[in-house]
Amino acid sequence: MKKVAFHTLGCKLNFSETSTIARLFEVQGYLKVDFKEPSDVYVINTCSVTANADKECKQIVKAALSVSPDAYVVIVGCYAQLKPEEISNIEGVDLVLGASEKFKLLNYMSDLTKKTKAEIYSCEIEEANFFIDSYSFGDRTRVFLKVQDGCDYNCSFCTIPLARGKSRSDSILNAVKNANDIAKQNVKEIVLTGVNLGDFGNNETKEGNKKQEQFFDLVTELDKVTGIDRFRISSIEPNLLKDETIEFVSKSKRFVPHFHIPLQSGSNKILKAMRRRYLRELYSERVAKIKSLMPHCCIGVDIIVGFPGETNEDFLDTYNFINDLPISYLHVFTYSERDNTDAIHLKESIPLTIRKKRNKMLRILSAKKLRLFYQQHIGQTRIVLFESDNKEGFMHGFTDNYIKVKTPYDPILINELKEVELKELDADGIMLVTIAESIEQPIYP
C-alpha cells in the first residue's frame, strides 16, 4: 500500500480542501500518514497570504525529502496558482498544480518517478469559475465545511482573487446534504468557510441568470440540520453581515455567538486606499448590534498594519478605535508588498521597523482584550466541546463563545459537549473549569 502525507498552510478553506484531496487518495488505495513519517507522496497545500511563501515552501519540501529522499512531491494551493514557475525551481518538487487542477491531482500522477524538472499544470484564473465542495474530517474535533470560493472585491493589497478566481458558491441543497452527511459521522461542530463567506449565493445559472440564494438563507436552512450541535461562522465582511443574520444567530440553538469580522484599518483614509467596501462607522454599528443582542458574543478582528501611507496619526486612529470597541481578540498582519496588486505601486512605503512596532502594539492590545473578555465570564456556566489533545496531562476545548478552557485529561471527554463552570485563568490565560453533568440538548443563553 502506497503512503501519502499532507501539509496545509493558511486558512480553514485550505484545510477543508486538503482533507477532500486526501479522501481521493484513500479511495485509490493510499494510506494517509503523518507528514513527519516516511511516505511515497507528499502533498503541500500552500497559501499566498504569508509573506514568505517561497521560503516556507522550500523548508517544508526539504523536511519531507530528508525523511523520504525519493518521495514524489506535489505543490497545490494559492501560491501554486500565483507563482508556479517559482515553485517549479524548488529542488525536489515534481508537480505543481493550479487552482482548477488540484482536485484532479491523481490524474497527473501516472507514476511516482522523481522528475528532473517539475511539471506544471495551471490555467488562467478566469477558467477557475466552477465550485467544488469540500470538508475536512478526521483531523480535528470540528469540521470545516466549504460553501463559497473566490472573491470579486479586488482590495488593493490582496492576491486572493488572482489565486482563487471569481466568487462562486455551493447550492444550499448540496451544503445541507454535506452537513447531514457530516452529522452521521458523530461530528458535533461545523465551521462554515469560504474566501468571502457573506457573498454566498453569488452564482450564475447556465442561462446567465443570477441565483436568488443568499447567505441568510443558507444559515436558516443549516439551522434545521439535526445531529449537529454547533454551527460557527468563520470570517465574514462587515458590509455583508446583515442585521437579519445577527438577529437569527442571537436566537439560534445551533449557531454559536462568535463572529470574526475583518476590519483591516480603523482609519477611513486607509480603508479607502485599501478599497474596502465600508467605513469604520459601519464596523462600529455591526459590533454594537451584535453586543446589544449577545453581550457574551466573541468578536474577532483582522487588522493590517503598515499599509502604504499609514501615518502615525492613522495608526493611532486604528489603535484607539479598536481599544474603544468591545471586541475580543485581534489577528494582526504586517503589510507586505505583493506582485500584481495596486498597493505595490503606492508611494509612502512604511519602514519595516515601524511596521513591526505597530504589529507588536496591536498584539499587546489583543492580549489585553482577550484577557478582559475571559475575565468577564468567570463564574458563568457555559458549554464546552472538548478536543483530543493531551498536553502535560491537560486537555482543551472551546465554549460556544470561543473561550479556550482546560481540564485534567480524560479520554471520555473527547468530542463531548459538557456544561462547565468557568473558574479562573491560568498563567497562560487559559480558563480553568470544573465539569457539570453531561447534557443532551445544549441551549446557549
* Residue extents of the structural domains in the chain: 3-123, 128-256, 381-438
CA distance 330 to 86: 32
pLDDT value of residue 207: 46
Helix axes 215-222, 243-251, angle to 10 degrees: 10
pLDDT value of residue 445: 42
pLDDT value of residue 211: 61
78 membership: H or E segment, kind and range: helix 78-82
CATH architecture assignment, domain 128-256: 2-Layer Sandwich (3.30)
pLDDT value of residue 443: 46
| Closest to 236 (Cα-Cα) out of 217, 254, 258 | 258
CA distance 126 to 100: 10
Instruction: Please answer whether residues 4 and 23 qualify as being in contact, where contact means their C-beta atoms are separated by less than 8 angstroms.
Output: no
The alpha carbon dihedral of 306, 312, 318, 319 has a sign of positive
pLDDT value of residue 212: 76
Find residue 252's DSSP bridge partners.
Answer: none
Residues of the chain with pLDDT under 50: 205-207, 439, 441-445
Q: Is 378 helix (H, G, I), strand (E, B) or coil?
A: coil
pLDDT value of residue 210: 59
Separation of CA 106 from chain center: 26
Q: Cell digits for 178? A: 454535506
Residue type present at position 111: D
- How far are the Cα atoms of 376, 403, 430, 432 from residue 425, in angstroms, in the given order? 11, 11, 5, 6
pLDDT value of residue 398: 96
| Strand 404-408 to 431-438 pairing | parallel
CA distance 134 to 17: 5
Give the domain 381-438 fold: OB fold (Dihydrolipoamide Acetyltransferase, E2P) (2.40.50)
Separation of CA 85 from chain center: 27
- How far are the Cα atoms of 28, 50, 68, 96, 283 from residue 108, in angstroms, in the given order? 14, 27, 21, 10, 46
Superfamily (CATH) of domain 3-123? Methylthiotransferase, N-terminal domain (3.40.50.12160)
pLDDT value of residue 205: 47
